[in-house]
Structure 1
Amino acid sequence: MAQSSPVGFLVPLNSDLSVDGAAEQVPILPGTNSFGRNNLGVVDRRVSRHHIILHASEGGAAELAVEAKSSEILVDSSFATIRHSRISDERSPAAFRLLQVKGIPSWANSSAVGLQDVVQGNVIFAVLSNYMVDIDWLLSECPFLEIIPRVLVIHGESGASLDIMKMKKPSNWVLHRPPLPISYGTHHSKAMLLVYPHGLRVIIHTANLIYVDWNNKTQALWMQDFPLKNDSAGKGGCPFENDLVDYLNSLKWPELNVSYESIGQARINPSFFRRFDFSCAMVRLVASVPGYHTGSNLKKWGHMKLRSTLENFTFDDDFKGSSLVYQFSSLGSLDEKWLSEFASSLSSGVSNDKSPLGPGKAQIIWPTVEDVRCSLEGYAAGSAIPSPMRNVEKEFLKKYWVRWKATQTGRCRAMPHIKSYTRYSGQRLAWFLLTSANLSKAAWGALQKNNSQLFIRSYELGVLFLPMPLQGSHLPASFSCTDDNGFEQASPNPKGTLVGMRHTCLVTLSGQKTAEETDSSDHVITLPVPYELPPRPYTSEDVPWSWERQYTKKDVHGQVWPCKVQLYMERDP
């Protein structure tokens, strides 16, 4: 009889609640599990051989009982605690979610979403921005996109793929490929703008509009709904609004006319989106636009936009000199000079005493060959992790490599297509960026001409989570485009006290409980960061994945690499 798959793990922690990478994680199986002295890395006779009994269900729920004769429960750095990956709606900044993955335990998808969960309701106009678009799959997943009055698809396809798109697109769709004035640039941004009769839904995510990206890989999205402005709204836009409209203007799409319920006929151009109230946006936009950016535009895009945004925020002293994580799925041609330039931007910001946070140690999360071979897709997953050998095998990169480990979210075997960057201390986050941008000069830009010019090749788009200040006795009212009532008052803070707080506190799933207990003056926002922090360094046995190598050891599907990979649904000849 085949052994059941684990529904969770006991995860060993250090005293600061960071994951103890030197100790084994203990799988939790459906049914009754017994844990005790034999599961510890040290000998302690205060712990019996069956100290804890844990009854777990297939769905990930668990009941814990202490069976030891002694009433003393040992709690120290060598004992494990349960890592529960569920995140409740009221803790979410509007919505930051991992995408659902097929083939992982049900508990790992309990708070994850699929395409149908976010693209829904009475949409009258849609902007779908992406790099790759499989129209056959997209319409099979969301058939109502065929009957929305207007759909604008902003894409990065070319050649035969674009010809197929033109042939298969519904009559209500308009295809637009933004101008790419610089060679080797791409339109890589992944976003959706869904216009409803009384509001706008903004979704920024990391997945191409193809089957494998929404089913087999670690991905994420951020979503928030915004109402129409009322008569009392000021004329000037908030930073989120201005950044969004500036970015949309760069795409130069053709104007479209749509019948809009509240105002009649409307021309859909970038300025149209100023009709919506973005004042409650819980994130900042960080975008890249191709070009040579100078003067007032120098800090408008790419890593210089991230630098200028972080420079204006004050962070807790814990983040002085703290580590940086770069996590992405395509490795550009890097050099040490540019990595120093990039790290300088990501190290920006000041502490409470107004002194700079200072540089932090950079860590690059990158899958190993074994990670890819043993993944849900096997070697086929490596086709979405572009990595020429000349880029991967640079000697100076060895000090940066750290492992992809996502045990606490059940996604170790779901290879990452998510792109994220963060600065952390323990399980607390100074900030967190979810983006389409891989680690490359083309995506982030490179300074030129004595740092007076930023050169960018590609379009990218991301959202930056920051310790935003909150004022008043409750959280802001939340607006829903798909709810009949429109507005719902967000819950007070989880402890039931007033939210007269200085700022929000960003934490990982692993740090949620401790932050709530110790940071009573902060509103704790839990972000479902899929990977472990701190990440584990490569060992001498680990080899970074490169898609140009040949691998003859068979994967979980009996394949070797290279092998044929199908990214689009079967297409008619």
Structure 2
Amino acid sequence: MASASRVRVGTLVPLAKDNAGSSNGSVSAIPIFEGSNVVGRNHLVITDKRISRKHLSLHASADGSIEVVVEGPNPIIVRSEGQRRKVSAQETAKITHNDVLELIPGDYFVKYMDMADDPIGSNGLKKGKRHSEEDSAAVKRNRQIMEDEALARTLQKMKPANWILHKPPLPISFGTHHSKAMLLVYPQGIRVVVHTANMIHVDWNNKSQGLWMQDFPCKDAKDINKKVPFENDLVDYLSALKWPEFRANLPVVGDVNINASFFRRFDYSSAMVRLIGSVPGYHAGPSIKKWGHMKLRSVLEECTFEKQFCKSPLIYQFSSLGSLDEKWMSEFTYSLSAGKSDDGSPLGIGKPMIVWPTVEDVRCSIEGYAAGSCIPSPQKNVEKDFLRKYWTRWKADHVGRCRAMPHIKTFTRYDGQNIAWFLLTSSNLSKAAWGALQKNNTQLMIRSYELGVLFLPQTLKSIPQFSCTEKNRPSQDGLTLGKTIKTKLVTLCWKGDEETEPSTKTVRLPVPYQLPPQPYGPEDVPWSWDRRYTKKDVYGSVWPRHG
């Protein structure tokens, strides 16, 4: 049925937490149409990962009554006729005119109002019984600005006194701040954490995720102007966020201004990774190599790898797939194939493989079909013919995580159980995250903020391992201080002899999937979250409850 011909039966109207008569500014008004409707994260003014992208399914009847199904992992509250009822994942409830939903218990209140008493239908903005489900882009943009301003005012009143809230600039539509990171300042140094989990229980408890962290000491006075690539990349990224400078009183340090330059106080010379970030904008000139896949390309071009990695395969593993085409896939693969072998020849183009859960993987996961809400790729993106040759299975028997669906995002080049390089990142496989070249490859357009860490083979000197929370540990694996060592990246399944090369430090990376990955079989179907699946999952549920 075309969206413009669907019959509107009512609206979910946002309410204040303690005042049923006023909007709380945190949820958009949601029109409800006869038949199937979805309520989810895109209806919030700002992202809250407790609300799934497909949080509720609503099946509306012509008489205005609605059956609600909780599709996400978190429960809701239904308030009807003075009663307050908790409705958990995959459970159903009926609602009628004037009933209130708490999309998260205690948060995000909406009241259902049928067409007879619909404020949106009666305020002149939308008249008549039939309405389009989608506004024009301009109207949406203006509405978003007004909602952002309303939410900002609300949050400023509600936030704890020692919190500072900041929304980074998003100059290009459909962008987001997708990075996940922490900068933890201690009296003697800083801990930098880059991870893939959102700050919600289900992400840390039920998913396969990745986290990297390293502690760095304060600089000595003589090294205050010394800069290394990790530091420059971190400060460039923080500068792009344009957060407002503020003052803080830190133990030992005293009163300081916290801005991007503050983070130059720390000595990152021992960094074991490179930062690979994305910042929204149209990047040209020298900036074209600062962000996205062009940043990754430029770093790899500076590296020398063992000859065994010439034309070796590439792995793309992520939890959301953008709308891609073969031209962009070639562009992206070219960047990830950069680098030269130890004889000076280019590594050559690697064959990409995509590690992606099948429908059966999701159905049998520890969350059942509900896990699919965090693998939010639609059928139109997933089932493009040219992608078929890339699909490989999510298999994680070696780390016991086959049934913990991946929210982790990783990209790597490998040969057997040897790793040329490995990237842990917030970036999914999309143009929005990695950027797309434009204007005859002279400009890179990126929509979103992303952040990742790139593991590379290194030649370095053995030094004590600095810790912000413990006394400094000995050098890595007891190696003699000051000794020059080379690092070699391998998987947990590597079975080589670490003693054969005493000057080589073997770094075992917890690659979450088995290498080489297994190609899809004839019965395997890649997961897409907007298809209907009637075979029941481990909890006896189908997906979705209403198609």
TM-score (norm 2): 0.71
SS of the equivalent of 2:232 reads helix
Which residue matches 2:540? 558
For residue 491 of structure 1, report the CA deviation from its aligned partner.
Answer: 3.7
CA–CA distance in structure 2, aligned partners of residues 214 and 174 of structure 1: 24
Deviation at 1:185, TM superposition (A): 0.3
Instruction: Map Cα deviations across residues 48-88 of structure 1 (whole Å, 9 max, x no partner).
Output: xxxxxxxxxxxxxxxxxxxxxxxxxxxxxxxxxxxxxxxxx
Give 1:478's aligned residue: 465
SS of the equivalent of 1:506 reads: strand
Task: Say whether the 8 Å CA contact 1:207–1:214 is kept in structure 2.
Answer: yes
- Name the CA distance, whole Å, in 2 between partners of 1:536 and 1:160: 50
Shift of 1:516: 1.5
Q: Which of the numbers 488, 491, 514 marks the counterpart of 1:532?
A: 514
Using the alignment, how far apart are the partners of 1:361 and 1:402 within structure 2?
13
Q: Which aligned pairs between 1:8-19 and structure 2 lie closer than 5 A?
A: none
What does residue 475 of structure 2 align with?
490
Q: Write the mapping of 1:114-129 to structure 2, written as runs, cut at 5 A.
A: none
**Would you say 1:231 and 2:221 are equivalent positions?**
yes
Specify whether residues 415 and 168 from structure 1 end up closer, same or farther in structure 2 by C-alpha distance, changes over 3 A only.
farther
Deviation (angstroms), 1:133: 5.8
Match of 2:321 in 1: 331
- Number of the residue aligned with 1:169: 159
8 Å CA contact 1:288–1:444 kept in 2: the answer is: yes
Once the two structures are overlaid, the 10-residue window that deviates more, 190-199 or 423-432, is: 190-199
- Aligned ranges for residues 399-410 of structure 1 at < 5 Å? 399-410=389-400
Q: CA deviation at 1:165?
A: 5.9
1:391-540 equivalences under 5 Å are 391-471=381-461, 475-483=462-470, 485=471, 487-492=472-477, 500-501=483-484, 503-511=486-494, 513-540=495-522
8 Å CA contact 2:463–2:476 kept in 1: the answer is: no
Match of 1:348 in 2: 338
How many residues end up aligned between the 2 structures? 406
Does 1 or 2 have the higher relative contact order (CA < 8 Å, sep 6+)? 1
Q: Quote the Cα distance in structure 2 between the aligned partners of 1:211 and 1:492.
A: 35
Q: Distance in 2 between matches of 1:282 and 1:416?
A: 25
C-alpha distance in structure 1 between counterparts of 2:420 and 2:382, whole Å: 29
**Which residue of 2 is the match for residue 204 of structure 1?**
194
State the alpha-carbon separation in 2 of the partners of residues 215 and 365 from structure 1.
22
TM-score by length of 1: 0.68
Deviation at 1:319, TM superposition (A): 0.2
Check whether the contact 2:464–2:481 (CA below 8 A) recurs between aligned residues. no
Is the contact between residue 364 and residue 538 of structure 2 (CA under 8 Å) also seen in structure 1?
yes
Q: Distance in 2 between matches of 1:314 and 1:502?
A: 16
Shift of 1:562: 1.6
Whether the aligned pair in 2 keeps the contact of 1:131 and 1:208 (CA below 8 Å) is no
Give me the CA root mean square deviation: 2.2
Instruction: Kindly state the Cα deviation for residue 561 of structure 1 after the two structures are TM-superposed.
Output: 0.7
Q: Which has the larger radius of gyration?
A: 2
| Distance in structure 1 (CA, Å) of the matches to 2:516 and 2:148 | 40
1:320 alignment counterpart: 310
Match runs of 1:106-117 below 5 Å: none
Deviations 1:319-372 (A, max 9, x none): 000000000000000100000000000000000111000001100001000000
State the secondary structure of the residue aligned to 1:208: coil
Counterpart selection for 1:300 from 280, 290, 302: 290
Change (3 A) 1:192 1:391: same
Cα distance between partner residues in 2 of 1:259 and 1:234: 21
Distance in 2, Cα, partners of 1:257 & 1:240: 25
- Aligned to 1:304, the other structure's residue is in SS state helix
Contact 2:216/2:266 (8 A) holds in 1: yes
The CA deviation at 1:468 is 1.1
1:272 maps to which of 262, 270, 280 = 262
Structure 2, unaligned stretches of length 5 or more? 1-45, 52-146
Q: CA deviation at 1:467?
A: 0.2
Q: 1:216 and 1:563 mapped to 2: Cα distance? A: 22
**Out of 364, 388, 392, which is 2:378 matched to?**
388
Give the whole-Å Cα distance in 2 for the aligned partners of 1:379 and 1:161: 32
Confirm or deny: 8 A CA contact 1:131 1:190 kept in the other structure: no
SS of residue paired to 1:287: strand
Q: Which structure 1 residue ranges, 4+ long, deviate > 3 Å from structure 2?
A: 130-135, 157-169, 496-502, 517-521
The gaps in structure 1 that reach 5 residues or longer are 1-129, 136-156, 565-573
Aligned sequence identity (%): 65
Q: Distance in 1 between matches of 2:150 and 2:498?
A: 53
Aligned to 1:248: 238
Code of the residue aligned with 1:535 in structure 2: it is: P
* CA distance in structure 2 between the partners assigned to 1:158 and 1:559 by the alignment: 37
In structure 2, what residue type is equivalent to 1:544? P
